[in-house]
Amino acid sequence: MECNATRLSWFLRSKIVAINV
């Protein structure tokens, strides 16, 4: 579960960064 949450967090962060750039 923790691993999945971390992966999701990274994915969301990547999306936000892509939008910012």
Query: Could you count the other beta carbons within 10 Å of the beta carbon of residue 3?
Result: 7
DSSP, residue by residue, 6-17: HHHHHHHHHHHH
How much is the pLDDT for 5?
86
pLDDT in tens, 9-19: 999 999 999 98
How much is the pLDDT for 2?
67
pTM: 0.38
How much is the pLDDT for 16?
92
Query: Could you count the other beta carbons within 10 Å of the beta carbon of residue 14?
Result: 10
Higher pLDDT, 21 or 18: 18
How much is the pLDDT for 9?
93
Quote the CA–CA distance of 21 and 18 in Å, as a whole number: 5
